[in-house]
Amino acid sequence: MEEDYHCMDTILVHGDKGYDSHTGAISYPIYQTATFKHPGLNQSTGFDYSRVSNPTRDELEHTIAKLERGKMAFAFSSGMAGITAVFNLFSAGEHIIVSDDLYGGTYRLFEEICTKQGMEFSYVDTSKVENVLQELRSNTSCIFIETPSNPMMKVTDIKKVAKLARESNALMVVDNTFLTPYLQRPIELGADIVVHSGTKYLAGHNDTLAGFVIANDQKIIDQLSLIYKTTGAVLSPFDSWLVLRGLKTLGIRLEKQERNALKIAQWLKEHKYIERVLYVGLAEHQGFDISRQQATGAGAMISFVVQDKEIVKKVLENLQIISFAESLGGVESLITYPIAQTHCDIPDEMRERLGVNDRLLRLSVGIEDANDLIRDLEQALVWGID
Ligand SMILES: *Cc1c(COP(=O)(O)O)cnc(C)c1O
């Protein structure tokens, strides 16, 4: 495992080719071009048109494929563009099993768009493998999971669910946004496809949108490749470069973020106005053991439930360093109110069952000083006569 780590850090810094062989440029150049001049009839430099491929995006895609231990990665203009491309693999009449706790935008894609196209979705708590088994049908063609899940931080056993998927001829897709390949590599655990919102940890600086789809099987790669160049929601050369630059520090960012998150989770746990803290890195967390088996870290996402709805408003308005903003995974700490932001499209009944209530907050811990973040939370967490 130790060796893996070093290897990962080196790939992060150096990328695939690492530098531009034409000029020696250490920072991989931004090939800001839509098209490429052909040397002659029936000749190509290897590049023809930037929707199909572009050198800067190629460098990023090869780097991401190496990190996720897949044969091929595709870079999209957002995480949702990538997930949409994956669901172009399926057609009317096919059944898909999904983690019931998941990113609201993904839920909206399934319910508002894919359902109209005739696909059927079942939402189950995939952290209990027997639920997946129970839901399998003869037409189940995909199992889509998030682990840890958003925002309830439930952990699904990737190996076990991947085995079920394989036995039923279904594709196993994992949204690996929360942990990144630095901490968890689903393809090594049996997943067929990994998706990412690269907007989050991979880019890491809250400055660009990006999405990735990684696969290992050539047949799936060929299908995705066709969808990718045909539908065209590809990542621009400049945004590709921003992600390449962000990736260089993914390892040190995540390590600092995780150290900060553990400190903050432990502090929140003791606070008189906090009812519950959901952080995979706490030993009492339900998914702690499985997470230890399949990931090399707990990441830096914490959800917590405060005692009264009034406290939520105070926290969101009083915080000085931590910003009340959507998104996660960047160097700046952000706090979100899932019921009003990321999960407003999830039906009330489903939200209640999951525990996404009006007292739940989700914190994405950044790389600031941990004590400053704790002091910020301390002064913001007031209630009544406080
Ligand atoms: C943000 C997010 C997405 C969507 O990605 P965008 O880059 O915003 O399109 C998908 N899944 C998860 C887990 C996310 O956090």
CA angle 370, 2, 366 (to 5 degrees): 20
The CA distance from 326 to 316, in Å, is 12
Domain that holds residue 368: 251-381
49 catalytic? Reply is no
Query: Does residue 275 sit in the same domain as residue 295?
Result: yes
**Burial class (CB within 10 angstroms; exposed 0-12, middle 13-18, buried 19+) of 243:** buried
- Choose among 145, 141, 144: nearest CA to 168: 141
Query: Does residue 281 sit in the same domain as residue 333?
Result: yes
Q: Atom 5 in ligand 1: which residue has the minimum CA distance? A: 79
Query: Does residue 159 sit in the same domain as residue 39?
Result: yes
Work out which ligand 1 atom sits closest to the CA atom of 177: 13
Query: Does residue 114 sit in the same domain as residue 24?
Result: yes
Ligand 1 site: residues with CB under 6 angstroms?
78-80, 103, 105-106, 146, 150, 175, 177, 197, 199-200, 209, 211
Output the CA 205–ligand 1 centroid distance in Å.
15
The CA distance from 82 to 88, in Å, is 10
Output the CA 151–ligand 1 centroid distance in Å.
12
Tell me if 2 is assigned to some domain.
no
Tell me if 140 is assigned to some domain.
yes
Tell me if 257 is assigned to some domain.
yes
The CA distance from 115 to 272, in Å, is 44
Q: Which helix (H) or strand (E) holds 335?
A: strand 334-336
Work out which ligand 1 atom sits closest to the CA atom of 199: 7
List 51, 71, 245, 292, catalytic entry: 51
Of 247, 266, 281, which marks where a domain is finished? 247
List 154, 160, 185, 200, catalytic entry: 200
Q: Atom 12 in ligand 1: which residue has the minimum CA distance? A: 103
Query: Does residue 232 sit in the same domain as residue 274?
Result: no
Tell me if 386 is assigned to some domain.
no
N-terminal to C-terminal alpha carbon distance within the chain: 48
Query: Does residue 192 sit in the same domain as residue 311?
Result: no
Gyration radius of the chain's alpha carbons = 21
Q: What is the CATH number of the domain that holds 269?
A: 3.90.1150.10
Tell me if 1 is assigned to some domain.
no
Query: Does residue 234 sit in the same domain as residue 307?
Result: no
Output the CA 76–ligand 1 centroid distance in Å.
12
Q: What is the CATH number of the domain that holds 200?
A: 3.40.640.10
Query: Does residue 227 sit in the same domain as residue 281?
Result: no
List 175, 192, 239, 376, catalytic entry: 175
Q: How far is CA 19 from CA 56, 59, 95, in A?
A: 11, 9, 44
200 catalytic? Reply is yes
- Choose among 6, 3, 8: nearest CA to 185: 8
| Domain total in the chain | 2
Output the CA 306–ligand 1 centroid distance in Å.
25
- What is the torsional sign of CA 95, 101, 103, 109? positive
Contact between residue 79 and residue 235 where contact means Cβ atoms under 8 Å apart: no
Reading the chain (386 residues) residue by residue, the pLDDT tens digits are 444 445 899 999 999 998 898 899 999 999 999 999 999 999 999 999 999 999 999 999 999 999 999 999 999 999 999 999 999 999 999 999 999 999 999 999 999 999 999 999 999 999 999 999 999 999 999 999 999 999 999 999 999 999 999 999 999 999 999 999 999 999 999 999 999 999 999 999 999 999 999 999 999 999 999 999 999 999 999 999 999 999 999 999 999 999 999 999 999 999 999 999 999 999 999 999 999 999 999 999 999 999 999 999 999 999 999 999 999 999 999 999 999 887 888 888 888 888 899 999 999 999 999 999 999 999 999 887 66
Query: Does residue 125 sit in the same domain as residue 272?
Result: no
Q: Atom 8 in ligand 1: which residue has the minimum CA distance? A: 79
Of 203, 229, 247, which marks where a domain is finished? 247
Model pLDDT for residues 21-71, shown as the tens digit of each residue: 889 999 999 999 999 999 999 999 999 999 999 999 999 999 999 999 999
Query: Does residue 230 sit in the same domain as residue 351?
Result: no
Tell me if 3 is assigned to some domain.
no
Residue of 77, 80, 101 to test ligand 1 pocket, by largest number of atoms within 8 Å of CB: 80
Query: Does residue 332 sit in the same domain as residue 222?
Result: no
CA angle 251, 253, 256 (to 5 degrees): 110
51 catalytic? Reply is yes
Tell me if 262 is assigned to some domain.
yes
Query: Does residue 168 sit in the same domain as residue 197?
Result: yes
Of 219, 247, 275, which marks where a domain is finished? 247
Contact between residue 306 and residue 312 where contact means Cβ atoms under 8 Å apart: yes
Residue of 177, 180, 301, 343 to test ligand 1 pocket, by largest number of atoms within 8 Å of CB: 177
